[in-house]
Structure 1
Amino acid sequence: MAVAAVRRLLRPTSSAALSSAGRLLSSTASPPPNRSPNTNSPVSFDWSDDDESPAEPPPTSPAKNPAPPPPYEPFSKNPAAADPVDPTNLQEIFHRMRTGGLTDYAIKMFDGLSKDGLTHEALALFSVIRDKGAMPDVVAHTAVLEAYAAAGPARWRDAVRTYNRMLSGGVAPNAYTMAVLVKGLAAGDRCAEARKYLLEMLDRGMRPNVETCLAAFEAHVRMDKVEEGKALLEMMKKKGFTLDEEAVRGGTVKRGHVFRAVMNMLFGKPS
């Protein structure tokens, strides 16, 4: 019964809903009003008032009647959504969002939340799609943020700008959104920014998973910022968060100087 319910919940949305989701990527002249984080409304990704503008802004118009993707199989071993061949080709990625809708991105978010034990939040996300026929704003913002985060170190400012615009538009991030941001910044060796948003996760009552924490601490090791990493660990402990040693051992490659340095930083042991 539960499996059948999940399958019904994760059926692809209608073409009308996908077209509506595409409008989330449209630029608007005026800032969006305050609203619930689970409503579908125009979102601005116009960085013209910022110091630096991205070279490839998100698309400006949705596709007409895009074909919906095949039904999602929760227990399939295949990835929920295929990653782009070239994550730096933002034009292609934003085109895929516009023409194919955001269902794949919503499924990735559902998977991520579910794997972290946030099943209720994951189901609430899809309830909006099912009951309102609309794509939640958090999905659209996170999809754009993830595209910038995956595009390489040069685009970290665009990822942060997208996150800030998300907040200013009244859209609340979830744990998946924050994890994407932290891991993207860490991959680009932006240690200070990764620290900031990892701590913000805790301030928002979210518990970062091992993968997200390791991304931040491994970045500190790569950049020879071990003392800053230790300070981050202490701040996390003061906020009531501790890392499980066995979970960390299972979540990182057990070899090389990075592993030894991370284990020493977190638990005072080299291996």
Structure 2
Amino acid sequence: MATVAARRLLRPTSFTALSSARRFLSSNASPPPNRSSNTNSPVSFDWSDDEENPSAPPPTTPAKNPALPPPYDPFSKKPVVADPADPTNLQEIFHRMRTEGLADYAIKMFDGLSKDGLTHEALALFSVIKDKGAMPDVVAHTAVLEAYANAGPGHWRDAVRTYNRMLSTGVAPNAYTLAVLVKGLGASDRCAEAGKYLLDMLDRGMRPNVATCLAAFEAHVRMEKVEEGKLLLEEMKKKGFTLDEEAVRSSTVKRGHEYAKMTAIECLRCPC
């Protein structure tokens, strides 16, 4: 139901509500007085001072006059927001960010946070959109990070670079941001990096869900670094994190990665 409310907020159907939504999602809207520093600006993605430039430049300006999709159907089994047809076509994805806005990405973040029980954080995210009239910077940066993470192994450095730039500009990541990064690194077989940011989640007081943890462990198994995966889980235990064995057992993993699940359960049973 929380997702339904978010969808209604960003995708109204009445003319008055539509005009209001366009006013605070459009780049033409003037920033409100005392604008919060956690909202996006046209210079959020200036990569000019990086040593290496990403293969596809992220958007440099917000969207103009975003077109709102059809109303949300709470009974549909489809994902809250459809993934791009070709996640490797970064030019097209960034073009759509510029022209259609970040509403879809905000809804995905809201849905992800809500499913992990972080409803208060999800609602706080949308209160910025509703009350300040601007898209939070965490949504904009995470959208670019997610595009790189989903584009394949060749773009994992771009994903990490986006995350580091996010931190350097004073934008705090949330649990959804780091989950996207860990999953993307895991899918790219960057097991050491995936483990690093999994621990970063714990250091920030976040509790990674089972899918995020397994993404890192599966990468360790694929790269035949099971012992390193066990050490990672032990480090997580030292930080006070306990992975629920039943949740791991009942989770859905990719075909052929069942061993990763069994390895995690084996580590959970370890008395050390």
Say whether the fold is shared (TM-score over 0.5).
yes
Q: Counterpart of 2:131 in 1: which secondary structure?
A: helix
Once the two structures are TM-superposed, the CA of residue 231 in structure 1 deviates from its matched residue by: 0.5
After superposition, the Cα gap between the structure-2 partners of 1:206 and 1:21, relative to the gap in structure 1 and judged at 3 Å, is farther
Q: Indicate the residue corresponding to 2:48 in structure 1.
A: 48
1:16 aligns with 2:15: no
Q: Which residue of 1 aligns with 2:262?
A: 263
How far residue 191 of structure 1 moved from its aligned partner, in angstroms, is 0.8
Alpha-carbon distance, 1:65 to partner: 2.0
Q: How does 1:33-182 map to 2 (within 5 A)?
A: 38-74=38-74, 76-182=76-182
Partner deviation per Cα, 1:51-101 (whole Å, 9 max, x = no partner): 321121023344432323334455543322111111000000001111111
- 2:3 and 2:211 map into 1 onto residues whose CA distance is 27
CA distance in 1, matches of 2:218, 2:175: 20
Q: CA deviation at 1:2?
A: 8.2
Report the Cα distance in structure 1 between the residues aligned to 2:214 and 2:29, rounded to whole angstroms.
Answer: 34
Segment of structure 1 superposing worse, 121-130 or 71-80? 71-80
What are the residue-to-residue correspondences of 1:155-234 with 2, within 5 Å? 155-234=155-234
Q: Structure 1 counterpart of 2:263, which letter?
A: N
Counterparts of 1:3 and 1:223 in 2: how far apart (Å)?
A: 37
Alpha-carbon distance in structure 2 between the residues aligned to 1:105 and 1:166? 16
Does the residue aligned with 1:20 lie in a helix, a strand or coil? coil
Deviations 1:123-153 (A, max 9, x none): 1111111112211110000000000000000
Structure 2 unaligned blocks of 5 or more? 13-19
Per-residue CA deviation, residues 215-249 of structure 1 (Å, 9 max, x unaligned), is 00010000000111011000000000011111011
Deviation of the 1:21 alpha carbon:
9.4
Cα drift, residue 10 of structure 1: 4.7
The one-letter code sitting in structure 2 at the alignment partner of 1:216 is A
* Partner deviation per Cα, 1:190-231 (whole Å, 9 max, x = no partner): 011101100000000000000000000010000000111011
Can you give the 5+ residue segments of structure 1 that lack an aligned partner in the other structure? Answer: 24-34
CA distance in 2, matches of 1:227, 1:182: 19
Contact 1:46 1:57 in 2 (8 A): no
The answer (yes or no) to whether the contact 1:263–1:269 under 8 Å persists in 2 is: no
Mapped to 1, the partners of 2:142 and 2:28 lie a distance apart of 13
Residue type of the partner of 1:173? P
Q: What is the alpha-carbon root mean square deviation over aligned residues?
A: 2.8
Q: 1:240 to 1:82 in 2, by over 3 A?
A: same
Identity of aligned residues (%): 80
Label 1:186 to 1:60 Cα distance change in 2 as closer, same or farther (>3 A). same
- Contact kept, 8 Å, 1:43 with 1:169, in 2: the verdict is no
Task: Go from structure 1 to structure 2 and tell me whether the alpha carbon gap of 1:147 and 1:237 turns closer, same or farther (over 3 Å shift).
Answer: same
TM normalised by structure 1 equals 0.85
Deviation string, structure 1 residues 159-207 (Cα, Å, up to 9, x no partner)? 0111011111111000000000000000000011101100000000000
Which amino acid is the alignment partner of residue 209 of structure 2? N
- How far apart, CA to CA, are the structure 1 residues paired with 2:28 and 2:172? 17
Helix, strand or coil: the match of 2:128?
helix
Return the alpha-carbon distance in structure 2 between the equivalents of residues 157 and 190 of structure 1: 10
Deviates more, 1:80-89 or 1:210-219: 80-89
> 1:7/1:157 Cα in 2 relative to 1: closer, same or farther (>3 Å)?
closer
The DSSP-based 3-state class of the residue aligned with 1:92 is helix
